[in-house]
Amino acid sequence: MYDLNRNEVPGSTVRDRFYWRDVGTIDSFFDAHQDLISALPIFNLYNEQWPIFSSQLNSPPAKFVRDSRGALGEVIDSIVSLGCVVSGAHLERSVLGTWVSIESGAVVTDTVVFERSQIGEGAIVRRAILDKGVVVSPGATVGVDREADLARGFTVTQSGITVVGKGILVE
């Protein structure tokens, strides 16, 4: 058993020294990601004295661009990984894995999106976890209508988090 009381983390504070979070349920996994995007997360990804060593991808930086009509996208309180492109869309309180694209007019809030997923033009995704390679078609919704999500075979927790499995096409 690991003894957190003996854990010495350079650069930590009293608040984050003994950080531990169980992510064994969908809700706790979601909550851990929501904590990461808070203004002062308990688990500090930016502690330069105790760096996080993750895989180094040969990928371009994330890009936030106007869409073809010149509409601005906006990203608020989110973490966006390498290779992502947000084009004229609204992204808020969300975490994007690598190579995610969000197209014009899409609205993505309170969501965790795994790598290489695509969210089409005008789609709406709320309180969701999208696994790798999910494609949300233009105009489709996830997390908006619980009964529709259940009818499509998605998992929806009691707290309302919708989970879409790997490689699923959402129409």
The whole model's pTM is what? 0.91
Residues 79 and 134 in one domain: yes
Q: What pLDDT shows up at residue 47?
A: 83
Provide mean pLDDT across the span 28-40.
Answer: 91
Provide mean pLDDT across the span 140-161.
Answer: 97
For every residue of 101-116, which 3-state class applies, written as one string? EECCCCEEEEEEECCC
Residue 7 lies inside a defined structural domain of this protein: yes
Give the residue with greater pLDDT, 12 vs 162: 162
Q: Looking at 27-134, which runs of residues are DSSP E strands?
A: 63-65, 74-76, 79-80, 85-87, 90-92, 95-96, 101-102, 107-113, 118-119, 124-130
Provide mean pLDDT across the span 2-18.
Answer: 78
Residue 56 lies inside a defined structural domain of this protein: no
Residue 91 lies inside a defined structural domain of this protein: yes
* 18-28: burial string, b at 16+ Cβ within 10 Å, e else: eeeeeeeebee
Residue 57 lies inside a defined structural domain of this protein: no
Residues 74 and 124 in one domain: yes
Domain tally, the chain: 2
Residues 71 and 46 in one domain: no
Is residue 169 over pLDDT 80? yes
Q: Whole domain around residue 42: which residue ranges?
A: 1-51
Q: What pLDDT shows up at residue 45?
A: 84
Residues 11 and 85 in one domain: no
Residues 86 and 166 in one domain: yes
Provide mean pLDDT across the span 3-22.
Answer: 78
Q: What pLDDT shows up at residue 42?
A: 83
Provide mean pLDDT across the span 26-40.
Answer: 91
Please give the torsion angle defined by the CA atoms of residues 125, 92, 81 and 89, in that order, rounded to the nearest 10 degrees.
70
Summarize pLDDT for 78-103 with one digit per residue, the tens: 999 999 999 999 999 999 999 999 99
